[in-house]
Chains A and B, each alone.
Chain A
Amino acid sequence: QQPVQSPQAVILREGEDAVINCSSSKALYSVHWYRQKHGEAPVFLMILLKGGEQKGHEKISASFNEKKQQSSLYLTASQLSYSGTYFCGTEITGAGSYQLTFGKGTKLSVIP
Chain B
Amino acid sequence: DSGVTQTPKHLITATGQRVTLRCSPRSGDLSVYWYQQSLDQGLQFLIHYYNGEERAKGNILERFSAQQFPDLHSELNLSSLELGDSALYFCASSVGGTPYGYTFGSGTRLTVV
Contact = CB atoms under 8 A, between A and B. Distances in A.
Interface stretch (A12-20, A68-76, A96-104): A96-104
Interface centre among B33, B43, B104 (most CB of A within 10 A): B43
Contacts, number: 68
Contact of B48 (A42, A87, A89, A99): A99
Interface residues of A, number: 26
Interface string A16-52: 0000000000000110101000001111101101000
Interface of A: 2, 29-30, 32, 34, 40-44, 46-47, 49, 87, 89, 91, 95, 97-105
A98 B47 CA distance: 11
Interface residues of B, number: 28
Interface centre among A30, A32, A98, A100 (most CB of B within 10 A): A98
